[in-house]
Amino acid sequence: DTGVSQDPRHKITKRGQNVTFRCDPISEHNRLYWYRQTLGQGPEFLTYFQNEAQLEKSRLLSDRFSAERPKGSFSTLEIQRTEQGDSAMYLCASSFTTGGPEETQYFGPGTRLLVL
Amino acid sequence: AQSVSQHNHHVILSEAASLELGCNYSYGGTVNLFWYVQYPGQHLQLLLKYFSGDPLVKGIKGFEAEFIKSKFSFNLRKPSVQWSDTAEYFCAVQGTYKYIFGTGTRLKVLA
């Protein structure tokens, strides 16, 4: 399968614990996005990378959240000191763009986080 | 503020009925427009997209959408739905890079 993959698919943790999610984008895709989706809502933008550079972070991304894409390939999203409000589906998407206006993002299956 | 509105949160149709899902957006510039579908237990999949040109775009599985710039709308249509179209449908707008999604419409098609 050559789509976007995410690991783990499900994570249950206790409040205060740290968690890390991984996203492997489609090969050769230079942009990678993280979104968060809660029940009854559409996905909301968190952050994105152009190659290894993190170019934008949403206000939703508190100081407890950090994302990396060290070699411009896979990315990790870490949440420190998790809170119950962090419970959500975390989606990763990737795209290839040469900087023009046309860009299509392809989404992974998501990591569903439950904080007890 | 940039936003996307999907007015129909839940839609129930019988097979063979026609479908139209509304999507309106607020964005002060040129946009790309998308419809994604999420079947039960699956990830978001692209149904169709509009970048420029013909405002009537055709997607997979018989879906189409029409971009009406003056109304800031990008409604999704299908002439005859099937039971297998039961899913959640999301409209998304892209300005410079990030997508802004609507809240989604849950479609249930009765066999």
Residue among A105, A106, A112 with most chain B CBs within 10 A, to mutate: A105
The contacts of residue A86 (CB under 8 Å, 6+ apart) are A79, A113, A115
What's the mean pLDDT in A2-26?
96
Q: What's the whole-number average pLDDT of chain B?
A: 94
Cα B58 from Cα B47, distance rounded (Å): 9
Residue in chain A closest to B6 (alpha carbons) equals A42
What's the mean pLDDT in B38-48?
93
* CA distance, residue A101 to nearest chain B CA (Å): 8
B10 touches chain A (CB under 8 A): no
| Chain B residues close to A93, C-beta within 8 Å | 99
Residue B69 to residues A111, B75, B94, B97, Cα–Cα distance (Å): 36, 11, 15, 20
Cα B50 from Cα B67, distance rounded (Å): 8
pLDDT at A1: 53
Phi, psi for residue A65 in degrees, rounded to 5: -100, 135
- CA angle (B41, A79, B88) in 5-degree steps: 20
Cα B104 from Cα B73, distance rounded (Å): 15
What's the mean pLDDT in B80-96?
95
Look-up: residue for tokens 């900087």? A99
What's the mean pLDDT in A60-83?
94
